[in-house]
Amino acid sequence: MADSTTPGTDAHSAKAKRAPPRLTMMPTEDVGPPLVEIDGLWTKFGKTVVHQDLNLEIYSGEILSIVGGSGTGKTVLLRQMLGLERPARGTVKVFGEDISAAGADQLRRMRNHWGMLFQQGALYSALTVFDNIAQPMRELRALPEDVIYDAVLLKMNMVGLGIEHAFKMPADLSGGMIKRASLARALALEPQLLFLDEPTAGLDPDLSDAFVALIQSLHRELGLTVVMVTHDLDTLFALSTRIAVLAEKHVIAIGPTRDVLAVDHPFIKQFFLGARGQRALEVLDEHDEELKQYEEENEQLEQAYQQQQQERQEQAEHGAENAAPVPLSKVPED
Ligand SMILES: Nc1ncnc2c1ncn2[C@@H]1O[C@H](COP(=O)(O)OP(=O)(O)OP(=O)(O)O)[C@@H](O)[C@H]1O
Ligand SMILES: [Mg+2]
């Protein structure tokens, strides 16, 4: 369902003014309650207000990207979802539980169901790659070392990090390898929800493409829900099922890429519609064209299959008519 509301067009109430335009109702099919539900969030550091009446819902199975200018509070918003910051007002619910009301035990339990790739990579510099990836499993204090050993190698394999790197120190890794090792650690406990803060920042274009492909395949194969902050348009367009734009201390627009691009807001124009944005849009067009082709081929296959099924059924019925039971009187006696 489209809603053409643009920020600032409703003069009747301040609250309505701040509500993000609901570009497309998500989800289109029934995927259950939101995994993350942020309602009327305010974040303050002293007198500085970072978020003001911010609303955001994230559903199971999506890749939601958060974009916004530097210092607009994207990382702090992720930290709110992780229970690392406290709302000054409003609520942040993850897996249906109010995170600011969660006690230490509850928070620890919730942490086992999400993984986080921090903006700065954030591997422990004094630990080897192996020990970094093993650390969330060891914290559980429930797994024997041989199980952890196998699991670490499995995760390294999953993110395309050769086991020959297992006993290197982070300082001896390239930028791309640090990202992969950090991702392996974020996946250590097989989370449902993966948070990524600028996952491709600092990677050259080839490594960045490879990392995007990796996230795509993990999303598909593990059925992960991904919440990502990125300013990289190629990453954004290649991965996002929806984009949330953070500006003026709240989410000013949320929806599928094309719908967000159509919102009339200075940040959106400046961010998406420069030369870089145009190039990334062309890539999006190519993707759409490929997807259309794929869907058409699928439809043709489906039609051919239906036709074949129908012919088979007709043949079977026809055959059954021809093979009508022989009257008993005509059954030859032997
Ligand atoms: N612990 C803190 N104490 C005080 N101010 C903070 C703290 N953490 C963040 N801030 C402030 O909150 C604002 C938002 O920071 P945040 O790191 O979320 O920005 P960002 O959108 O992630 O920026 P970037 O794109 O540069 O990563 C900034 O002005 C920052 O200085
Ligand atoms: Mg940040």
Task: Return left, alpha or beta for 56; rule: phi > 0 is left, psi -120 to 50 is alpha, else beta.
Answer: beta
Residue 196: strand pairing partners: 117, 228
| pLDDT number for residue 208 | 84
| pLDDT number for residue 30 | 63
Residue 14: pLDDT band (50, 70, 90) is very low
Question: Cα(332)–Cα(81) distance, rounded to whole angstroms?
Answer: 82
- Give the residue, out of 42, 65, 74, with the most ligand 1 atoms within 8 A of its beta carbon, to mutate for a pocket test: 74
| Dihedral, CA of residue 118, residue 121, residue 127 and residue 132, to nearest 10 | 50
What is the overall mean pLDDT for the chain?
83
Ligand nearest to the CA of 74: 1
Pairing of strands 36-45, 48-58: antiparallel
Q: Compute and round to an integer the Cα radius of gyration of the chain.
A: 26
Residue 52: pLDDT band (50, 70, 90) is very high
Q: What is the mean pLDDT of residues 82-99?
A: 94
- Residue-wise pLDDT for 134-173, tens only, equals 998 998 877 889 999 999 999 998 888 999 999 999 999 9
Ligand nearest to the CA of 79: 1
Poorest-confidence range of 4-8, 156-160, 215-219, 281-285?
4-8
- Residue-wise pLDDT for 200-239, tens only, equals 887 888 888 888 888 888 888 888 999 999 988 888 888 9
Question: Cα(333)–Cα(295) distance, rounded to whole angstroms?
Answer: 59
Of 75 and 6, the one with more pLDDT: 75
The H or E element that residue 98 is part of is: strand 97-98
Q: Ligand 1 mean position to 56 CA, how many Å?
A: 19
Domain chopping of the chain, boundaries = 1-112+195-200+226-273, 114-190
Q: Ligand 1 mean position to 76 CA, how many Å?
A: 6
pLDDT at 320 over 70: no
Query: Helices (DSSP H) in the chain: which residue ranges?
Result: 14-18, 74-81, 104-111, 129-140, 145-158, 175-186, 205-222, 233-239, 257-261, 266-272, 275-322
Q: Which residues line ligand 1 (CB under 6 A)?
A: 45, 50, 68, 70-76, 119
CATH number of 1-112+195-200+226-273: 3.40.50.300
Question: Cα(257)–Cα(217) distance, rounded to whole angstroms?
Answer: 20
| pLDDT number for residue 321 | 66
Q: What is the mean pLDDT of residues 175-200?
A: 90
Of 293 and 70, the one with more pLDDT: 70
